[in-house]
Amino acid sequence: MRTDRKSGVSGAVTWGLLAAWAANDLEEIATMAGWLRTARPRLKDRLPRVPDRVWERADLTQREVNTAIGIMGVLVAAAAADGARTGGRSAFFRTTLAGFGLHGVVHLAQSAAYGGYTPGVATSPTVVVPYSLWALRRLRAAGIPVGGARAAAAGLAFLPVAVAGVHAAARVLARPRTPGA
């Protein structure tokens, strides 16, 4: 694997973000739309105060799931490319990496709270969290500050904004087109 001479960080660290994301999101593509349909009654029972309009917005078609994941893929690819360009020093890359690792922990927590499988949980302990911890260790070993609590907080704050944004865009982009409209 080629190592950036300036930083000592290999492409496996930076481009690994995109590869790990792809593994996790292939699982989500395969399971999310169907899981949401079957899990909704159980979720509504467990969360009775959530308004019906929220549950209606949570109904995602396979097309919306695919579109949202594709848009997020563009963001993750941009972060990985920026990380590769800067030898891992890009704040965008490091924040995305922190958010990605924390999102794996969120998947595990969601599954624990739900009491069963939730989309993305199978690859979280096997790919997302191990890759993220490994990449952070590689950055530290290369002398690149990973930011600690500040980067984790930024990554955690960025995650719901990014997810909400891509799902809102996907809902518009994946909307069925009517002839003549």
State pLDDT tens for residues 103-127: 999 999 999 999 999 999 999 999 9
C-alpha to C-alpha distances, 92 to 95, 100, 111, 133, 175, nearest whole angstrom: 5, 12, 28, 17, 30
* Rounded (5°) CA angle 91-129-92: 10
- pTM greater than 0.85 (yes/no): no
3 DSSP β-pair partners: 10
* Rounded (5°) CA angle 93-96-98: 110
Q: Which residue has the higher pLDDT, 154 or 132?
A: 132
Cα gap 68→175, rounded to integer Å: 12
Q: Which tokens belong to 133?
A: 């911890």
Q: Which residue has the higher pLDDT, 94 or 5?
A: 94
pLDDT higher than 70, residue 54:
yes
List, as one string, the DSSP characters of 100-147.
HHHHHHHHHHHHHHHTS--TTTTTIIIIIHHHHHHHHHHHHHTT----
- Check residue 27 and give its pLDDT: 97
Q: Which residue has the higher pLDDT, 60 or 140?
A: 140
Q: Which tokens belong to 23?
A: 């593994």
